Structure 1
Amino acid sequence: MTAELARGQNHPLSQARLEIRVSAGTPIVASATLGDENGKVHGVDWVAHPGAPVLPGLEVSKQAAAGHRLAVDLGAVPEAVHRVSVLLALPIGVGGPVRFGAVAAPFIAVTGLDGTEVASYTITGLDAESAVVALELYRRQGAWKVRAVGQGYAGGLAELLTDQGLPEAGRLAGGINDAVAQGLARSVQAPPQRTADGDRTRQTAAPAPGPDQSGPAPQAGSTPQGAPGPVPPHPTSPYGAPGPQPGYPAGPAPADPSTVTQPATPTAGGPVDYSHPRRQTGAPPSPPPTAPQARPGQPAQPVAGDANGWSMDERLYNQIWGMFEDLARNTAAYRSAVDFAESRMEKELDQALSDPRNRIGGQSDAAREVARGKHAQLVDQARASLDRDLAQLSAEAEVVEPALPPAFARWDNPVWHGYRVPMEIPMALRLGDLYLPESELLRIPMLVRLPLERGLWIDSGQGGLLDESFADSHELRRLALDTAVALAARLLAVYPTGEFGVHVIDPAGSGVQAFAPLVQTGVLATPPAPGAAGVADVLARLTQRVDLVQMAVRGGVPDSLPPGLDTAEQLLIVHDFPHGFDDRAVTQLRYLADEGPAVGVHLMMVADREEAAAYGPLLDPLWRSLLRLTPVPDDHLADPWVGHAWTYEPALVPSGSQVLQQVLARVAEARTRHR
């Protein structure tokens, strides 16, 4: 199964001989560096580039091109090498674009020699950068992994190589650029544009340039969500990315503002390509549904699944990403127009007040009224344009929401009443909703890819929450636990029978009432663990599971696992942290957060960060590695396009509804039959 990575995510590599494929909409230069255990590049002989394309275990292209294939043999790289970084740069002095923000987002895939994709990454969020560390292959405890990096440099290759510790960075970058310019590394034409029937075009908004503007405002880079990470999502993707990976969209990822792969970012006003990036295998995707013919002068009627994809779920997933991106860009256009109107009004007021002739009589008051009238007119025009776009997106949301499968749907969606245990894992899971202040009535689902690449942190603290009505810390903790149980129930419901287990650590037993639906239906792998002894026992068992699976994977002998080992995905819910945790338990918890997701052990913390302040900065990496969610609305997620602060709203079960208990009962019943 291909892992579609968001920025910062990693994925284990089971093969030593690989091919790295790069696709871009313009000729780019592909290079690679070898780094030691600290990531340092020791000299120019540790850099593969068009002028010197071959190093032990590594070969790059000899030319600047829109597509590249880099060959890697991890078994042949020197023992001193612990990191292989893939670098992409725009050639200088050949008349092409000078920043990645002006071209389509590059796509990079790691494949086996047979062409099977192992992992892929679309590098979004770039603007003024002309060079980027796309991804890295790194060695950890004897095993190799791939990580999506996406770190851009406005200073080009020279700045990038300097950051990697290369003393001769400026001279080497100049030599590479000279070779490209002189034709030693010949550029080739970009591939022809895809035909219209293979793409979906959405309306994307860009700020309209005013009299003092030469073009749209530049987009901000990707902001990690809290992450979604909107995300996406991040949204850290809001989604890890997301969304939005909403980690969301990041996200949705972000889409990860948390940890989901984001669609390529088009130039403002251009088409958005929702097709699966460089899919190699399988039958062609079925075309999206055709929207009903609109009347002349009227917008097209929205249709659920109106995006390219290989299944209805994938089309809906891509459509939600598109809605998230549209809302982000439309809102950016509105905010840009308002900022311009305010700056122009201030300029006109300053000019009017600086003229002595306007200080006589009522001329100054008249000048103020004129300036304010122009400001109001511009703001009204911008708001009317935003309202028109919001109406279209709202109409689309009204069509899409009822068509969502359980994994994407809210708890109040009727699809849950017909719930049946699935036969396969869905591509994503809904963690909640995202919205912006300008459009509080329009909710975008926050989706993250499955299996989870990051742990989750349900913040039970009060710091920074928008809803000030929750002055009662006990009520906030209760809502945090309800959020955790609702998310755990979703995960149990969307996995096939026997492929997902949930463990609970509740040292003080204060979560008995909240965990009752999980306990009473019998869907927990083991009863909630009380006290310090229970904490130690659960952490020891899950740590041992991670160690055993890691050793089997690294040794290439997955069949050697003990026969009684549960190889299903596992979720550990930790409540009342750090109560009941000693230093050893904290170390094990950090280990599970870092190493667990890659081998199917996931972490969900229900905690207040301030209560763990006694550990000092020791736990900072733990909190940063988790996707922060809140039990009440909070604007802590950022999208990867323009960096809006999106408000996250948790996916709670409606008050008085029994849908969660009904779904868990069916999960338990399916498990009983499975045994």
Structure 2
Amino acid sequence: MTAELVRGQNHPLPHTRLEIRVSVGTPVIAGATLADDNGRVSGAGMVAHPGSPALPGLEVSRQAAADHRLAVDLGALPETVHRVAVLLALPAGGDGPSRFGAVAPPYAAVTALDGTEVVGYPLTGLDTESAVVALELYRRQGAWKIRAVGQGYAGGLAAMLADQGLDRAAELAATIQQAVAHGLTRSVAVPPPRSADGDRARHGTSLTASGTPAGTAPADTEAGPTAAPVPAHAGPVPSCPISYAHPRRAGTVPPPAPEGAGGAQARPAQQAQPGQPAPPVAGDAIGRCMEERLYNQVWGMFEDLARTTAAYRSAVDFAESRMDQDLDRALADPRSRIGSSGDTARAAARAKRDELTARAREALDRDLAQLTAESEVVEPALPVAYAGWDHPAWHAYRVPREAPMALRLGDLRLPERPELRIPMLVRLPLERGLWVDSGRSGSEATVGMDDAELRRLAVDTAVLHATRLLAVHPVGRYAVHVIDPAGAAAASLAPLTGAGVLAAPPASGAQGVSDVLSHLTQRVELVRMAVSGGATDSLPPGLDTAGQLLIVNDFPHGFDDRAVTRLRYLADEGPAVGVHLLLVADREDAGAYGPVLDPLWRSLLRLTPAPDDHLADPWVGHAWTYEPPRLPTGSGILRQVLSRVAGARTQWRP
């Protein structure tokens, strides 16, 4: 039975290998300090944080998140460690809350490795504090206990670290905040909650996440091809009432299965064999329509793969650490370092390591097999917006009457099972723009490419992303502009220009760049003022209120300082009113601008034209290999889809 602690209360710990779970109503930093018997932390090397997440016997999350799982092996801690303090802090800067009193009280729980909760502690009573010591694990007379602390600090992370006895605490706090800022730029964002109370159910555990970002609207907003255009900040709405609950597996009985988007329908439930997991079913997640259930199911698979891989890696690290400790103990006596006794000790330690690793791999393979079977069922059932370009749904493509919840930007995989790929789905409307990196990232896939080939592939990838955005929106509700200052991307842009789906021919030269940026900047300014003043009805009659995508090739070539300023403005303010960037650029080419463009790069979601392991998940921070979209060899599906989009436009009247 779970013990619910109050501040100051302690409780014995029945296990030495534990997991500390933290859930908060907004992304927070989680860390831990290792202290001696006097409660003093000897230096920065005894602090686990996103920039340095692993210490002997302890591992924390690599980035800020609303949900954390910290792995603790008390038996693997150094003998000098007598206290482990679990720290939480709000990220500095950004649009998030600056004090814990503005969010739901954090909840911390200590669980055994099988998920059994040992103690729980709601951190109530916080107000102006932006950092808090949540829990303390401490050693007393050879046994470990846990204490509910809840000590908050209005001075933030630096004040909390200083109180832990650290010298140069402000310096370390700045390092941690920088690591968190970097992690947020490369993380795949968790889908925001849109239910009335903002709660999300994750595998049966009630959690909360960050609030709805700019660019969303209530779930009852109406949209359709015949409705009067509204500012893009209203966002698309699927054809069913939406509950933005995080995926929860439904066991052997799937939810009702109406006809899904793209003609996909959930398979009937099958009976599981005794002792075996239930056969996977497409749409086996919370949701009121098939599109929503499939979306939630994909996110559930993404999280399951992240966590089961994290458990495997932690178990392997534990096995290696335990072998080192066994060897140290066995060979502490110099007399046992030679002869048969030393060889026997080494063999026994390695055998134990191999046994633990094999058991961990067996559990991982079992979970991966289940996820692979689920993927094989889910992938064929995906609607067009979620489907790969080789999916049969594209051959039956028709311009939709409503925009989807999300769209696919590629796939994600981990090295433990590279053939298992999870669709990378992002919510619509886009929360931020996209950046297709045409530079050399060091990935193996680009080793044999020359610079010209890599740049061409980057533009080809951008065209695929733009085509999908056009294809999933109703006719007249999305427009694409192109800036190609030197005309270098004419061949790659040919499918878009040839189909006539662009808002205007690609802009080139200094004047063309200036005209397009001026037009879109003016649109953003007008819509922002109208929305903030509650006067959207007063927008000029000729103003295009459809969503806008600006493809910029070869940045910063052809951009003067004024154009760069406008581009930064569009990146910062555009997404809130439906204007997004799709930048095709090599960051090194913009080196002449110095750090002035750093906020621009951070505001965009970096994608690559070749496989690259630069993205992180929002739960444990694995480095995922991103697989960009690809057309099947010799396929004409791209031109077919663009032709249907263009045909629908010729018949449409606003």
TM-score between both structures, scaled by the size of structure 1: 0.66
**C-alpha separation between the residues in 1 aligned to 2:642 and 2:3?**
51
Alignment of 1:86-165 (within 5 A): 92-93=7-8, 102=21, 104-106=23-25, 123-125=66-68, 128-129=86-87, 153-155=131-133, 159-163=152-156
**C-alpha separation between the residues in 2 aligned to 1:436 and 1:226?**
21
Q: What is the aligned partner in structure 2 of residue 323 from structure 1?
A: 301
Counterparts in 2 of 1:222 and 1:515: CA distance versus 1, 3 Å = same
Counterparts in 2 of 1:134 and 1:483: CA distance versus 1, 3 Å = same
Structure 2 alignment gaps of length 5 or more: 13-18, 28-64, 71-85, 107-128, 135-149, 164-175, 213-217, 221-239, 244-254, 258-265
CA contact (8 A) 1:429 1:448 kept: yes
Q: How many residues align?
A: 494
Q: What is the aligned partner in structure 1 of residue 494 from structure 2?
A: 516
Q: What is the aligned partner in structure 1 of residue 442 from structure 2?
A: 464
Comparing 320-329 with 124-133, greater Cα deviation is found at 124-133
Counterparts in 2 of 1:96 and 1:401: CA distance versus 1, 3 Å = farther
Alignment of 1:353-372 (within 5 A): 353-372=331-350
Matching residue within 527, 539, 559 for 1:561: 539
Q: CA deviation at 1:558?
A: 0.9
Q: Which amino acid aligns with 1:610?
A: E
Matching residue within 574, 578, 591 for 2:556: 578
Q: What is the aligned partner in structure 2 of residue 593 from structure 1?
A: 571
Counterparts in 2 of 1:131 and 1:500: CA distance versus 1, 3 Å = same
Counterparts in 2 of 1:147 and 1:348: CA distance versus 1, 3 Å = closer
Matching residue within 382, 407, 432 for 1:454: 432
Q: Which amino acid aligns with 2:408?
A: R
Structure 1 alignment gaps of length 5 or more: 1-24, 28-89, 109-121, 140-145, 171-219, 228-233, 252-260
Counterparts in 2 of 1:280 and 1:648: CA distance versus 1, 3 Å = closer
Counterparts in 2 of 1:667 and 1:262: CA distance versus 1, 3 Å = farther
TM-score between both structures, scaled by the size of structure 2: 0.68
Q: What is the aligned partner in structure 2 of residue 636 from structure 1?
A: 614
**C-alpha separation between the residues in 1 aligned to 2:181 and 2:95?**
24
**C-alpha separation between the residues in 2 aligned to 1:624 and 1:651?**
22
Counterparts in 2 of 1:138 and 1:337: CA distance versus 1, 3 Å = closer
Matched residue of 1:580: which SS?
Answer: coil
Identity score, percent:
60
Counterparts in 2 of 1:453 and 1:371: CA distance versus 1, 3 Å = same
**C-alpha separation between the residues in 2 aligned to 1:301 and 1:419?**
30
Counterparts in 2 of 1:303 and 1:607: CA distance versus 1, 3 Å = same
Alignment of 1:142-541 (within 5 A): 153-155=131-133, 159-163=152-156, 236=186, 238-239=187-188, 241-242=189-190, 245=191, 287=256, 291-541=269-519
C-alpha distance after superposition, 1:538-590 (max 9, x if no partner): 10110111111112112221111111111100000000111110000000000
Counterparts in 2 of 1:511 and 1:366: CA distance versus 1, 3 Å = same
Counterparts in 2 of 1:283 and 1:446: CA distance versus 1, 3 Å = closer
CA contact (8 A) 1:470 1:476 kept: no
CA contact (8 A) 1:263 1:321 kept: no
Superposition RMSD in Å: 4.2
CA contact (8 A) 2:483 2:551 kept: yes
Q: CA deviation at 1:649?
A: 0.9
Matched residue of 1:457: which SS?
Answer: strand
Matched residue of 1:429: which SS?
Answer: strand
Q: Which amino acid aligns with 1:394?
A: T
Matched residue of 2:555: which SS?
Answer: coil
Matched residue of 2:416: which SS?
Answer: helix
Q: Which amino acid aligns with 1:162?
A: G
**C-alpha separation between the residues in 2 aligned to 1:672 and 1:435?**
41
**C-alpha separation between the residues in 2 aligned to 1:611 and 1:133?**
30
Comparing 400-409 with 353-362, greater Cα deviation is found at 353-362
**C-alpha separation between the residues in 2 aligned to 1:155 and 1:612?**
42
Alignment of 1:61-80 (within 5 A): none
CA contact (8 A) 2:25 2:103 kept: no
Q: CA deviation at 1:368?
A: 2.0
**C-alpha separation between the residues in 2 aligned to 1:529 and 1:284?**
40
CA contact (8 A) 1:504 1:572 kept: yes
CA contact (8 A) 1:132 1:160 kept: no
**C-alpha separation between the residues in 2 aligned to 1:26 and 1:104?**
17
**C-alpha separation between the residues in 2 aligned to 1:222 and 1:125?**
19
Q: Which amino acid aligns with 2:458?
A: A
Q: Which amino acid aligns with 2:528?
A: Q
Q: Which amino acid aligns with 1:602?
A: H
Q: CA deviation at 1:124?
A: 3.1
Q: What is the aligned partner in structure 1 of residue 625 from structure 2?
A: 647
Q: CA deviation at 1:26?
A: 12
Q: CA deviation at 1:364?
A: 2.4
CA contact (8 A) 1:455 1:593 kept: yes
Q: CA deviation at 1:369?
A: 2.2
C-alpha distance after superposition, 1:124-149 (max 9, x if no partner): 3486456758999899xxxxxx999x
